[in-house]
Structure 1
Amino acid sequence: MKNYVIKILINGVGVYVASILAKPHIEFTGHGIGLVGTVLLVALIFGLLNTFLRPIVKLFSMGLLIVTLGLFTFVINALMLWLTSKISEHFSVAFHVENFLFAIIGAVIATATSLILHALLPDDKKK
């Protein structure tokens, strides 16, 4: 459970960094619950999509993943980010991704940020 919460927080930071670098095409407006609350809620939605939907999408796109040597993963990550935007808009959470092209850009930025933050965390495994 602790690792899942850390992953959600790191994904939230990654999406927030993407919104800073790709502004105004990816943005948090932070109405109602404030910017921090909005980022946490979007991170939760993104984390749930990555936990439950992403493995199914990866399973059905296994052929493309193999042919592209894994680069199709960026398209899957972009799809998850774009779906996060659509679900957020549906529930009036102030997060918006303009189109799928910017979802790809945001996914690359969020993935890079998440990889860096995961690398900085100490390893929980004991020898």
Structure 2
Amino acid sequence: MQFIGRLIVTALATAVAVWLVPGITLSSSDFTDKVVTLLAVALVFGVVNGVVAPLVKGLSTCFIVLTLGIALLVINALMLMLTSWLAGTLGLDFHVDGFWAAFWGSIVISVVGALLGGLLGSSRDKD
């Protein structure tokens, strides 16, 4: 149940990023298609953040420390760009138009995801 809650929170945070950030587009036409696409993108984003991001962060630990954590913003933007590429490969209608759209989109997704996760109680500490 916790997995579904996090998936929905990530899908809602991604929807807010699509709405707020120019350059992040969801080109599905029907409401049901948009919901399914957002859930699929949230699943892809979760896999990218669960598999690729820890490897990249582990390999760039010295650089992250040297930049006082600013490099994490760049890594998160690159993970969103990778999600966009994978979504296109899988035939999903989700696209990020460049680094700056991914940069601001990753910030929006992080902040909205944290707020919604806190409000809905989908934290990782609960069992």
SS in 2 for 1:27: strand
1:77-108 Cα distance to aligned partner (Å, 9 max, x none):
11111001011111210000001111001001
- 1:66 equivalent in alignment to 2:65: yes
Counterparts of 1:1-127 in structure 2, within 5 Å, are: 2-23=1-22, 25-30=23-28, 34-122=33-121, 125=126
**Superposed displacement of residue 4, structure 1:** 2.9
Supply the distance in 2 between the matched residues of 1:40 and 1:9 (Cα, whole angstroms).
7
Q: TM-score, normalised by structure 2?
A: 0.87
**Superposed displacement of residue 65, structure 1:** 1.4
- Number of positions where the alignment pairs a residue of Structure 1 with one of Structure 2: 124
Q: TM-score, normalised by structure 1?
A: 0.87
Gaps of 5+ in 2: none
**Superposed displacement of residue 118, structure 1:** 1.9
**Superposed displacement of residue 48, structure 1:** 0.5
Aligned-residue RMSD, C-alpha: 1.9
| 26-35 vs 69-78, which moves further | 26-35
